[in-house]
Amino acid sequence: MEVARAAFFVGPREIRVGPIDLPRVEPGMVLLRVLACGVCGTNLHSWQAPRLTTGRNPDAGASGHEVAGQVVEVGAGVTSVRVGDRVGVELFESRACGRCRYCHEGRFFHCEQKRPTNAGGFVDYILMYDKGLYKLPESMSAAEGTLLEPFSCSLHAVRMAGLLGGETVLVLGAGLLGIFAVAAAKLYGAGKVICTAKYHFQAEAAARFGADLVVDSSDPQLERRVKDEAGGRGPDVVIESVGGRASTIQQAMSVVRPVGKVMVMGLFDEPVPIDTWQAVIKELSLIFPATYSVMGMRHEYELALELLASGKVPGKELISHRFGLGEVQRAFEVAADRSRGVFRVVVEPPLG
């Protein structure tokens, strides 16, 4: 059997490349040559935290899930793609059983009978099922194709917030998810979008993607400034995109207006205490959007593909660093250091 390369988590802040067998293509399955895979915050959590890297993520491919690839072989019965097609991969849809309640609702992330795959996305080749493969137009690079996943996450959060038009939206954090949330909020009718940013390059990007006001996240007057911009009451919706060890959930609850919504996208290193009295007194809705789904007959992956391909959301400028698969350790190190001007680090196996 032919051998390919795959990345493996081997310890805290350590990821290495090793050999795996090239998977056999069964009926209804598609073998992709991975052209690009993005390093996202979830990957970094697994790489950085010992409790996540020991025994919980031993899989080949190191849980990569922002995948774009090219079809190299199709199994019997496959009709959605052909050899040579370049696709963005919606991993949860591809693995979904298609029969359970959540699949019928288009919430593939919650499928009750997920099917196995051979690896995560930091590999030379990945075997997928004949679903969740979104063809990339010629105008879109494979690296841009990896942005379908994070943009879909931000679209999902904004759509779950149920904007009706004219609301004031505050986005906490100007990393990739935060920048995409700014763009999505504008697209879905927010009257004013405010964004907080830690670094100057993030602030500039937030403004380019539609933020009406960008506030330094360390500004001691941040909450007052935001409330003043929101008519003294506070924003209607706050989208938290920071996570880690930040106190941004409490900050969101403090600044949002009464009967407002807090959408928590960030992943936190430890359990976060929540002031339930404040939530009750203000009658807040706290919502934790996880990934993406079908809403209103449209999958967020479809919407993300249309918006990125059309240039309405210029995602390509957010791809800041590229590495070959053999440099995956370096790719993770760079991705973890936001001070370097990092938005999205992409691992491209064909580079080496």
Domain of 18: which CATH number? 3.90.180.10
Please check whether residues 66 and 97 belong to one and the same domain: yes
Q: What is the pLDDT of residue 55?
A: 41
Q: Tokens 């009464």: give the residue.
A: 258
Q: Are residues 184 and 238 in the same domain?
A: yes
In a domain, 213, yes or no: yes
* Assigned token pair, 151: 């943009």
Distance CA 171, CA 41 (A): 17
- Round to whole Å and give the CA distance between 230 and 220: 18
Give the per-residue pLDDT at 3: 84
Residue labelled with tokens 């449209």: 298
Same domain, 10 and 80: yes
Question: How do beta strands 294-295 and 285-287 pair?
Answer: unpaired
Closest CA to 69 of 43, 24, 38, 44: 38
Residue 32 pairs with which residues in a beta bridge?
A: 71, 126
Structural domain ending residue among the three candidates 252, 269, 287? 287
* Residue 20 sits in the same domain as residue 92: yes
Q: Which H/E stretch holds residue 267? A: none
- The total number of residues shown for the chain amounts to 352
Q: Domain of 256?
A: 154-287
Question: Do 241 and 270 share a domain, yes or no?
Answer: yes
Average pLDDT, consecutive stretches of 10 residues, N- to C-terminus, the chain (352 residues): 87 93 94 97 83 51 94 97 98 96 97 91 96 97 98 98 97 97 98 97 97 97 96 97 95 98 94 96 97 93 97 96 97 92 95 92
Report the 10 Å Cβ neighbour count for 197.
Answer: 25
Do residues 320 and 277 share a domain? no
- The two three-digit tokens of residue 249, written as one number: 């959930």
Query: What type of residue sits at position 272?
Result: V
Is there a contact between 324 and 347 (Cβ–Cβ < 8 Å)? yes
Task: Note whether 75 and 110 are same-domain residues.
Answer: yes
State residue 117's pLDDT score: 85
Q: What pLDDT shows up at residue 273?
A: 94
Kindly report the pTM of this predicted structure.
0.95
Given 269, 287, 305, the domain boundary residue is 287
Q: Hey, what are 270's tokens? A: 């430890």
Residues 276, 345, single domain; the answer is no
Residue 193 and residue 76 share a domain: no
Domain tally, the chain: 2
CA atoms within 13 A on the CB side of 248: 29
The answer to whether residue 140 sits within a structural domain is: no
pLDDT of 347 reads 98
